[in-house]
Amino acid sequence: MPRKSVFDLHEMKRAGEQIAWLTAYDYPTATFEEAAGIDMILVGDSLGMCVYGYPGTVPVTMDQCIVHSEAVRRGAPNTFVVGDMPLGSYQASDEDAVTNAIRFLKQANVDAIKLEGGVRTVSRVRAILDAGVAVCGHIGLTPQSSGQLGGHKAQGRTLESAKLVVEDARALYEAGVQLLLVEAVPPEVAGFIRAELPIPVLGIGAGSDVDGQLLIVSDVLGTFAAFTPKFVKKYADLAAVSTAALTEYVTDVRGGAFPEEQHCYRMLAGENEKFTEYAKETR
């Protein structure tokens, strides 16, 4: 099945087809997601927490994002992959933003990049688009600037803050973004934006009145146990399954139940006797 393009995703919106989007950070997970028929993969800066154990996304670097994007592309060669611009990769200048966006294309062969922020990132978005790179905007709760937002809190829950989210959406659309992610806002706000904009409006913690859903794969599979956001639906508890399996392994090793005969290699016919003689002579 050929890889979807931005235009295919736009056509899905026009046809009323929901877009399924997940994060991935490594080759195996990307292969599983492509086999499952996922429409899009985000190599999110959430890898800081889900892979490296950082307390948030702030420490994540471009080099880390590139390496993980390369692995995901190898695992999902036929899936639309979005690289996530980490903090510091685009804030300083339009030139920095373009340079780092192009790195994602040249080194990891992603299909688009994502960056956080609305009105304040318009010049960055335009510069990246002018360089020929597809852009997904990200508004609402933007984790990289959570300090300014008072923490990882839902946005748009009052009329005034909802207006700001809508203004961000309009500004990014007018700047030319091809996709828009809305995070942690009330469904009515996300639905209003979806109805107003002709581009796919995707949600994470934004209700069902959007053109598609994004979740963190570590939450979906239950491999990230530090906390579970309100909007997450766990489809598996691999942390529990993995811990149980590893506990059984430890028990087997300490009790001598592993390895068994079927786990061992044997010498070729006639070689065992030769080795026995060798061992006697060298003792």
User: Is there a single domain that holds both residue 13 and residue 59?
Assistant: yes
Q: Are residues 113 and 46 in the same domain?
A: yes
Q: Where are the beta strands (DSSP E) in 160-253?
A: 179-183, 201-204, 212-215
Q: Does residue 1 sit within a domain? A: no
Pairing relationship of beta strands 112-116 and 19-23 according to DSSP bridges:
unpaired
Residue 135 shares a structural domain with residue 165: yes
Q: What is the DSSP letter of 214?
A: E
**Domain co-membership, 192 together with 229:** yes
pLDDT at site 198: 98
Question: In this structure, are 124 and 163 located in the same domain?
Answer: yes
* 8 SS3 class: helix
215 and 277 in a single domain? The answer is no
Write down how long the chain is.
283
50: how many CB neighbours lie within 10 A of its CB? 19
Q: For each of the chain's 283 residues, which pLDDT tens digit applies?
A: 688 999 999 999 999 999 999 999 999 999 999 999 999 999 999 999 999 999 999 999 999 999 999 999 999 999 999 999 999 999 999 999 999 999 999 999 999 999 999 999 999 999 999 999 999 999 999 877 655 555 567 888 999 999 999 999 999 999 999 999 999 999 999 999 999 999 999 999 999 999 999 999 999 999 997 778 888 999 999 999 999 999 999 999 999 999 999 999 999 999 999 999 999 999 8
The count of structural domains within the chain is 2
Q: Is residue 246 part of a domain?
A: yes
Q: Give which of 70, 79, 2 is closest to 38, Cα–Cα.
A: 79
Same domain assignment for residues 246 and 226 = no
DSSP lists the bridge partners of residue 138 as 116, 181
Same domain, 154 and 262: no
* Residue 174 and residue 260 in one domain: no
In contact, 57 and 143? CB cutoff 8 Å: yes
The CA-based angle 127-132-46, given to 5 degrees, is 75
Kindly state whether residue 127 falls inside one of the protein's structural domains: yes
146 shares a domain with 40: yes
What is the pLDDT at residue 151? 55
The per-residue pLDDT for 150 is 55
- What is the model's pLDDT at position 230? 83
Q: How many CB atoms lie within 10 A of CB 194?
A: 25
User: Where in the sequence is the domain holding 258, given as residue range(s)?
Assistant: 241-282
181 close to 9: Cβ distance less than 8 angstroms: no
CATH number at residue 229: 3.20.20.60
Residue 13 DSSP label: H
Supply the residues annotated as catalytic: 183
The sign of the torsion formed by the CA atoms of 90, 115, 164, 156 equals: negative
Helix pair 122-130, 94-108: axis angle to 10 deg: 50
Report the interhelical angle of 62-75 vs 94-108 (nearest 10°): 30
Same domain, residue pair 138 and 245: no
d(CA 91, CA 44): 17
**Phi and psi torsions of 82, nearest 5°:** -115, 125
State the pTM of this model.
0.93
Looking at the domain assignment, is residue 190 inside a domain? yes
Please report whether residue 134 resides in a domain.
yes
DSSP 229-264: -TT---S--HHHHHHHHHHHHHHHHHHT-SS-GGG-
How high is the pLDDT of residue 225? Answer: 79
Same domain, 141 and 159: yes
